[in-house]
Structure 1
Amino acid sequence: MRILQLIDSLEAGGAERMAVNYGNALASCIDFSAVVSTRAEGPLKAALLPTTHYFFLNKKRALDPKAIWKLRQIVKRHKVEMVHAHSTSIVTAFLLKLFCPSIKLIWHDHYGDSNFLNKRDKGLFRMILPFFNGIISVNHDLKKWAIDQLHFANTVYIPNFPAVDLETTAAIRLEGEANKRIVCLANLRPQKNHFLLLEVALLVRQSHPDWTFHLIGKDFDDDYSFRIKAKIKALDLEQTIFLYGTQNAVQEILAQANIGILTSASEGLPVALLEYGLAKLAVVTTAVGEIPSIITEDTNGFLVLNQEATEFYEKLKQLIESTQLQNKFGLALNKTIKESYSQESALDVYMPWVQKIVK
């Protein structure tokens, strides 16, 4: 088979990381595997394996004939049979179909606000999805939504999977004391609910002032980012919370921490949680999206049901005060990820499914 992953950028987000992960994973088991970024490059370009083909369209606007024609040339030249479109690149894939009617299309739905699907606009999807051959959903709610609301039968749930990056740059060194670091791997977006993290950090500073929080993720320099930084300053948390922006060498960074947290108001299936497991971190996370299918309370992590600072703090405090519990949760989550959220288990579902579509 000859499959191309389509993604709008290579910034360090969950959908972008999965486009790279699929491109790399397939490079060793199909005839041709490529990743095409439509609008922007980014740090995840460094994570592409040498065996994964890469192309950049430099698309300037939604309807960019030059970019679509370039994509068509790539597809024709390399005899691509299927385009695997991630998230918002669905529009580019649809436009390609108008010029390459024989191409097979699948859409990978990474929608992060899956806790608020009742507010999701269906109009665009109902218009263009009849041109697609399949949908991959990253959690069960998204699969149900595709079947019930979009009436798309060939929908499959495939969990995200982590992959060790091919890093080309050295990891940054985190601030704070060793063995007293809490990391949050999340871009600065409203759905990630960093304001809850700030409330928790304030409580931790009062009880355990030597513990620090380390925020890894893209800063969009927007109103949300401004308000986060302003509140950190207003609460005098500048020596408790450190922001690092987008970073490579994620596993090396996570190795410097003891605990991983997610304070999200909504999620699909967060790659960050899988990476915490790969790094054997103990975790505290809100119970949103597909997270409760990964974390079993008091077994491989703590779930916070009500997104309330005091509840989150109390569970985090248990981890802070018990190295034994940190180790127990870290090892148990690592086992969960390797057994149920591995590249191999994902491809066991993916390969037979796409083979049927291609044939």
Structure 2
Amino acid sequence: MRIIQIIDSLEAGGAERMAVSYANALTAKISFSGLVATRKEGSLKGQLKDEVSYLFLNKKHSLDFKAVFRLRSYVVQHKVTVVHAHSTSFFLVFLLKLICPSLRLIWHDHYGDSEFLSNRPIRALQMTLPFFSGIIVVNQKLKLWAEQQLGFKKVLYLPNFPSEGTMVLEQTVLHGIDGKRIVCLANLRVQKDHFLLLEIARKLQKSHPDWTFHLVGKDFQDGYSQQIKDLIVTYHLEKNVFLYGSKEDVKNILHQSTIAVLTSQSEGLPVALLEYGWNKKPVVVTHVGEIASLVQNGKNGFLVPSKQKKMFYEALVLLIENDMLQTEFGIALYRKIQGANSEEVVIKQYLNWLQNSHK
């Protein structure tokens, strides 16, 4: 097979990381693996293996026919047989299919607001998806939604998987005291509920003032991120909560951290959680999306209902005050991910499905 991944940007986000991870993993499994970024490049470009063929389309708007024909030339040149479109890139791939009818199209739905699917617009999907051979989803709610709302039969749930990627320069140095750092890998988006995290930081400042929070993720310089910054000042958390923006050296950051958290109101299967587990970090996370498929409350982490400040704080304190529990949770989560969410397991399922799901 000759497969390309299509993604709108290479900025650090969950869908973007998975597009890169698929492209990298497939280099050892198939005759050709490529990745096309349509609108924007970004820090993840440096994570691509040398063996991955890469194209940047520099697409300017939804109906950019020059970009479509550039993509067609690339597909023809490299004899591509399968186009794997991630998230919102499905429309461009649909246009490509109109001029390359022999191509097989797969859509990968990474929709993060899976708790609020009733609000999701579907008209464009209903128009374009009949041209696709299959849909991959990152949680069971999305699978049910694709089958019931879109009437699509060939839907595969594939968990996200952690990827070692390529070597990254270790340059981020976290503030705070060794052994007393709490990390949150999450772009500054409303669904990630950083406000809950700040409320917890406020409580922890009083009970455990030496502990600090480290927020790593893209700052979109919008109203939400400004509110976060304002609240840090209002709550007098300048020495307890630190913002770093988007960073590539995630493994290095996790190595400096003691506990990892996610306070999300909605998720698919967050890549951040996989990275936590792969690096043996004990976690406190909210019970949303597919998180419970990995985290068993009290066995390999603490699972808390979303928006529950008191419960989240209490779980965090239990971890802070028990070094042995930190170690046990970290190892147990690592083993869970290694068994069900390893690159080897997921890519094998993926290739078997492609081979057996011809239209």
Q: Tell me the TM-score normalized by structure 1.
A: 0.99
Q: Is the 8 A contact 2:295 2:301 kept in 1?
A: yes
Amino acid at match of 2:40: A
The alpha carbon displacement at 1:118 in A equals 1.3
1:126 maps to 126
Aligned to 2:110: 110
**5+ long unaligned stretches in structure 1:** none
Tell me, in whole angstroms, the C-alpha distance in 2 between the residues paired with 1:306 and 1:277: 20
Contact 1:14/1:271, CA 8 A, preserved across alignment: yes
Tell me if the contact between 2:113 and 2:266 (Cα under 8 Å) persists in the aligned partners: yes
Partner SS for 1:39: strand
Q: Which residue of 1 aligns with 2:31?
A: 31
Secondary structure of the corresponding residue to residue 165 of structure 2: coil
In structure 1, what is the equivalent of residue 15 of structure 2?
15
Pairing 1:77–2:77 present: yes
Check whether the contact 2:7–2:87 (CA below 8 A) recurs between aligned residues.
yes
SS of match in other structure, 1:30: coil
- CA displacement, residues 30-62 of structure 1 (integer Å, 9 cap, x when unaligned): 000001000001111111011111110011111
Question: How far, CA to CA, are the matches of 1:246 and 1:355 in structure 2?
Answer: 37
CA distance in 2, matches of 1:305, 1:197: 14
- In structure 1, what is the equivalent of residue 336 of structure 2? 336
Q: Residues of 2 paired with 1:357 and 1:78: CA distance?
A: 23
Select between 199-208 and 167-176 the one with higher mean Cα deviation: 167-176
Give the equivalent residue in structure 2 for 1:194. 194
3-state secondary structure, aligned to 2:256: coil
Kindly report structure 1 stretches of 4+ aligned residues shifted beyond 4 Å: none
Hey, what does 1:144 align to over in structure 2? 144
| Partner residue in 2 for 1:347 | 347
8 Å CA contact retained: 1:192, 1:264? yes
Structure 2: gaps (5+ residues): none
SS at 1:8 equivalent: strand
SS at match of 2:145: helix
Q: Is residue 104–residue 357 contact of structure 1 (8 Å, CA) maintained in 2?
A: no
* Secondary structure in structure 1 of the residue aligned to 2:214: strand
Deviation at 1:357, TM superposition (A): 4.2
Does structure 1 conserve the Cα–Cα contact (< 8 Å) formed by 2:280 and 2:331? yes
1:222 alignment counterpart: 222
User: Matches of residues 178-327 of structure 1 in structure 2 within 5 Å?
Assistant: 178-327=178-327
Q: Counterpart of 2:236 in structure 1: which amino acid?
A: D
Secondary structure of the 2:299 match is coil
User: Which whole-Å deviations, capped at 9, do the CAs of 1:230-265 have from their partners, x for residues lacking one?
Assistant: 111111111100000010111111110010000000
Once residues 229 and 166 of structure 2 are traced to their aligned partners in structure 1, the CA distance between those partners, rounded to angstroms, is 32
Count of residue pairs brought into register by the alignment: 359
Residue pair 1:171, 1:248 contacting (<8 A) in 2 also:
no
Q: Which residue identity does 2:158 align to in structure 1?
A: I
> Residue 336 and residue 249 in structure 1: after superposition, are their counterparts in 2 closer, same or farther (change >3 A)?
same
Residues 165 and 249, structure 1, Cα contact 8 Å, conserved in 2: no
Quote the Cα distance in structure 1 between the aligned partners of 2:224 and 2:55. Answer: 32
CA contact (8 A) 1:81 1:358 kept: no
Q: What is the alpha-carbon distance in structure 2 between the residues aligned to residue 302 and residue 82 of structure 1?
A: 40
Tell me the TM-score normalized by structure 2: 0.99
Conserved? CA contact 1:5–1:19, under 8 Å: yes
**SS class of match (2:129):** helix
Identify if the C-alpha distance between structure 1 residues 215 and 200 changes in structure 2 by more than 3 Å, giving closer, same or farther.
same
Indicate whether 1:89 and 2:89 are aligned: yes
Alpha-carbon contact 1:11-1:43 (below 8 Å) kept: yes
CA distance in 2, matches of 1:12, 1:30: 26
1:147 and 1:181 mapped to 2: Cα distance?
43
Shift of residue 296, structure 1, vs aligned partner:
0.3
AA partner of residue 293 (structure 1): S
Cα RMSD of the aligned pairs, angstroms, is: 1.0
1:95-135 CA-partner distances (Å, limit 9, x unpaired):
11111111110000000000111111121111110010000
**What is the identity, as a one-letter code, of the residue corresponding to 1:119?**
N
Cα–Cα, structure 1 residues 95 and 290, in superposed 2: closer, same or farther, change >3 Å?
Answer: same
CA distance in 2, matches of 1:358, 1:54: 26
Question: What are the Cα deviations for residues 189-218 of structure 1, in whole angstroms up to 9, with x where unaligned?
Answer: 001010000001001111000000000100
